[in-house]
Chains A and B, each alone.
Chain A
Amino acid sequence: KQEVTQIPAALSVPEGENLVLNCSFTDSAIYNLQWFRQDPGKGLTSLLLIQSSQREQTSGRLNASLDKSSGRSTLYIAASQPGDSATYLCAVDTGRRALTFGSGTRLQVQP
Chain B
Amino acid sequence: GAGVSQSPSNKVTEKGKDVELRCDPISGHTALYWYRQSLGQGLEFLIYFQGNSAPDKSGLPSDRFSAERTGGSVSTLTIQRTQQEDSAVYLCASSPRGQIAFFGQGTRLTVV
Contact = CB atoms under 8 A, between A and B. Distances in A.
Main secondary structure of the interface of A (DSSP, over half): strand
Contacts of B103: 36, 43-46
Interface residues of A, number: 23
Interface in A93-111: 93, 95, 97-104
Contact of A104 (B42, B91, B102, B106): B42
B102 A101 contact: no
Contacts of B91: 43-44
Given A98-B59, A99-B33, A101-B43, A93 B102 contact: no
B100 interface: yes
A62 to B, nearest CB: 14
A75 interface: no
B101 interface: yes
A31 to B, nearest CB: 5
20 contacts: A32-B98, A34-B101, A36-B103, A43-B106, A44-B93, A45-B103, A46-B103, A49-B100, A89-B43, A91-B101, A93-B98, A97-B56, A98-B35, A98-B48, A98-B56, A99-B101, A100-B45, A101-B42, A103-B41, A103-B42
Interface of A: 31-32, 34, 36, 42-46, 49, 51, 89, 91, 93, 95, 97-104
Given A98-B48, A102-B42, 16 more contacts: A31-B98, A34-B100, A34-B101, A36-B103, A44-B103, A46-B101, A46-B103, A89-B43, A93-B98, A98-B35, A99-B101, A101-B35, A101-B42, A101-B43, A101-B45, A103-B41
